[in-house]
Structure 1
Amino acid sequence: MADPRFYRAAGPFTLSALADIAGAEIRGDGARLLRDVAPLVTAGPDDISFLDNPAYVRAFSASRAGACIVGPAVTAAAPAGMGLLVAVNAYKAYALVARAFYPDPAPVGGTAEGAHVSPTARIGAGTQVAAGAVVGDGAEIGHRCRIGANAVIGDGVCIGDDCDIGALVSIRFAIIGSHVRVYAGAQIGEDGFGYASDDTGHTHIPQLGRVVIGDGVEIGANTTIDRGSGPDTVIGDGCIIDNLVQIGHNVVLGRGCVIVSQVGISGSTTLGDYVIIGGQAGLAGHLTIGDGVRIGAQAGVMNSLDALSTVVGSPAMPYKEFWRQMAALKRLSAAKKKTGD
């Protein structure tokens, strides 16, 4: 059970209702009432759990859960009396069920004492502005948004409907779509890293673009997204960006990209749709990364990549080539040990 100091469970739900929510097939009593989600090991008769990893089949067979969300291949391992929701993608089905039990709380409309909202700003119906938040001149915030404590929404910034802007977030020079979540401490729209250098020093180049963020985007805590230098920095619909990511000026992300923690993307690099980048990978500037590319953790990408490529290593290379090289190095090392060199 989730700690009730922090979370409020909805429900109870019947197994049948949860099947409808998850798009799953019922096996068992559809009228059975379930009151919470829980891990296989700790779940009780009033809980629903899930299994999506075959390593936990033994825990599944021994579980006391009243019901479980599973894939078709493991249903025979269910203990007697356990209700099942059978789904091709059990993990997604669990996500839908868990969201039903623990929906995001609706914002409480209104502006808290201690917030500063410019008289020229426009705030949509049902939007909550927390204490210490600042909303600048001419800013526009849509309906049913939540602006967290000490967040700063800069002059002229536009934010769509149903957005959640966390505490201490700063947003400047940005146009943001609807259903966007920005977690605490993220900085959006600061100056890009643009300088003209010569033997007299470094001359800052004015950054005159914006950050344009599509619908359904999530931006993790303490992530930074620089505004464009003239062209815009663009984050496409449905992108998921983890904590502590750095996105440089003029970068363009296509739809549905997944960027994991501590990735750095240098300026003017373009990603296609549904690119996945593992943690701590670094991308040089002015590259083109095709649709569906997968980049492994800590990879160093210095060249453009064709669509559907999978690369690892630093410098990044096709993963099969990388593992061939690793195998060759292992053989060389073994040979040196045998000869005593």
Structure 2
Amino acid sequence: MTEPSNQPEVSPVFFPEAQKITIKQIAEWAGAEIVRGDGDLTISGVVPLDAGVAGTLVFIDNPKYLDQLTETHATACLVSKKHLEKVPEGVIPLLAKEPYRSLSKVLAKLYPSAMRPLPATSERGVSAAAFVEDSAVLGEGVIVEAGAVIGAGVVIGAGSVVGPNAVIASNCQLGELCSIGANSSVQHSVLGDRVIIHPNVSLGQDGFGFAMGAGGHIKVPQVGRVVIGNDVEIGAGSCVDRGANRDTIVDDGTKIDNQVQIGHNANIGKHCVIVSQVGISGSATLEDYVVMGGKSGVSGHVRVGMGAQIAGVSAVHEDLAPGGRYGGVPARPIREWFKEITMIRRLAAQGSKKKEN
């Protein structure tokens, strides 16, 4: 006799299917132009190029996938001018200046529930299994899930969600429409509006401060805060230490990936992008629009200029000028780094030939 399986017979669906939308509506959302075809046709989903079938929307941005574009059977494709001629007949080209950004606007309309983390359960309001201090102030529509702890004097703005087992420590402030992921810890922190904190994030814990000496290392009290601006997103497992004698700041619109460490007194500007496993040491400054690739790092008291881009696995030990592209250890202008790598490869190849001879 066959034993019953514990596996579900049908794969779970985590987001509802998109409603059918006309190509005209898609073009309006995307800020795109219908180059040819019937704008009254409908699509009911967005899929990768190689999965494109009738009734779906695809996009092309990376030339690596041009072969897939020529073979797609999707109803419509978001495409830039440089790839427009590659869109096959029978597929409606939607001409967009930046197809990927246009796609994000369409997806936000089709799947609004995916724009911020969802509550873990269907329970609304404050769970009976949560603990909320009497002096805490919760705005309209706030959800506090089971196991969460809200400390004394906490203020949480309207529409915010505090996930299961998250802790909002005394006197912290959260703006409106914030999402605090499961098992996250927020202390000594002030958050703006629409901040997204994914699971297992820690905000406002001690900065790593010690007066070191031969007789032992003396702990230096960390008496600053963490101040998070509006529309900041912080990925799972990341940590932002509170300041030692001033605030640690992450300014408006900055996006931080999983497993990132930001040290005490760091000042992160507006709309920075910080990829996974980056480490930013204490009192470092990133000006607005800085991009840091994965596993790169910035030493303490270093300033990275506005709009600078740092390649993955690079180490920044000195101030970097605005707008440049940098890479290597230590980080230097990327063309210089590439030249050095090329020279090292040539020298290595010459050495190998000599050994063979």
The answer to whether the superposition gives a TM-score over 0.5 is yes
Distance apart, 1:113 and its partner CA: 2.1
Contact 1:109 1:144 in 2 (8 A): no
The two structures have a TM-score, normalised by structure 1, of 0.95
The one-letter code matched in structure 1 to 2:29 is I
Is residue 2:324 matched to residue 1:309? yes
8 Å Cα contact 1:10-1:100 kept in structure 2: no
2:113 aligned counterpart, secondary structure:
coil
76-85 or 123-132, which moves further after superposition? 76-85
Measure, in 2, the Cα distance between the counterparts of 1:183 and 1:95.
Answer: 20
Q: Are positions 1:35 and 2:44 aligned together?
A: yes
CA separation of 1:335 and 1:131: change in aligned 2, threshold 3 A: same
Per the alignment, residue 282 of structure 1 pairs with: 297
> Which of the numbers 8, 23, 27 marks the counterpart of 1:19?
27
Match of 2:243 in 1: 228
Determine helix, strand or coil for the equivalent of 2:224: coil
Deviates more, 1:314-323 or 1:118-127: 314-323
Distance 1:145 1:286 in 2: 35
- Unaligned stretches of 5+ in structure 1? none
Give the Å deviation of 1:21: 0.9
Residue 117 of structure 1 corresponds to 132
3-state SS of paired residue (1:37): coil
* 1:322 and 2:337 correspond: yes
Partner Cα distance (1:152, 1:67) in 2 = 46
Distance 1:284 1:116 in 2: 40
- Aligned partners of 2:81, 2:124: CA distance in 1, in Å? 44
Is residue 223–residue 246 contact of structure 1 (8 Å, CA) maintained in 2? yes
The answer for the alignment partner of 1:56 in structure 2 is 65
Q: Which moved more, 1:223-232 or 1:305-314?
A: 305-314
- Relative to structure 1, the CA distance from residue 76 to residue 311 in structure 2 (aligned partners, 3 Å threshold; closer, same or farther) is closer
* Equivalent residues in 2 for 1:216-295, closer than 5 Å: 216-295=231-310
CA contact (8 A) 2:15 2:113 kept: no
User: C-alpha deviations, 1:265-308, integer Å up to 9, x for none?
Assistant: 11001111111111111211011111111111111111111112
- Structure 1 counterpart SS, 2:338: helix
Q: Deviations over 1:11-49 (max 9, x none)?
A: 221111111111111232221121111112222211111
Cα-to-partner distance string for 1:159-203 (whole Å, 9 max, x where unaligned): 101111111110000010001101100000000000112222111
SS in 2 for 1:178: coil
Give the residue type in structure 1 aligned to 2:59: F
Relative to structure 1, is the Cα distance of residues 58 and 309 closer, same or farther in structure 2, using a 3 angstrom cutoff? closer
CA distance in 1, matches of 2:308, 2:162: 34
Residue 101 of structure 1, aligned match among 79, 87, 110? 110
Given candidates 2, 16, 37, the residue that maps to 1:8 is 16
CA drift of 1:250 comes to 0.1
Contact 1:34 1:48 (8 Å CA) reproduced: yes
How far is the alpha carbon of 1:79 from its aligned partner? 2.5
Partners of 2:350 and 2:72 lie apart in 1 by: 50
For structure 2, which runs of at least 5 residues remain unmatched after alignment? 1-10
CA–CA separation in structure 2 for the residues paired with 1:19 and 1:103: 18
State how many pairs are aligned.
339
TM-fit CA distance, 1:54: 2.0
Cα RMSD, aligned residues only: 1.6
Query: Which region of structure 1 is more displaced relative to structure 2, 78-87 or 235-244?
Result: 78-87
CA distance, structure 2, for counterparts of residue 326 and residue 59 of structure 1: 33
Show the counterpart of 2:210. 195
Other-structure match for 2:179: 164
Q: Which residue of 1 aligns with 2:90?
A: 81
Distance 1:270 1:59 in 2: 42
Q: Is residue 63 of structure 2 the alignment partner of residue 47 of structure 1?
A: no
- Work out whether residues 284 and 302 of structure 1, in 8 Å CA contact, stay in contact via their aligned partners in 2: yes
What is the CA-CA distance between 1:109 and the residue it aligns to? Answer: 4.5
Deviation, structure 1 residue 311: 1.5
TM-score (structure 2 length as normaliser): 0.91
CA contact (8 A) 2:78 2:93 kept: yes
Residue identity matched to 2:90:
G
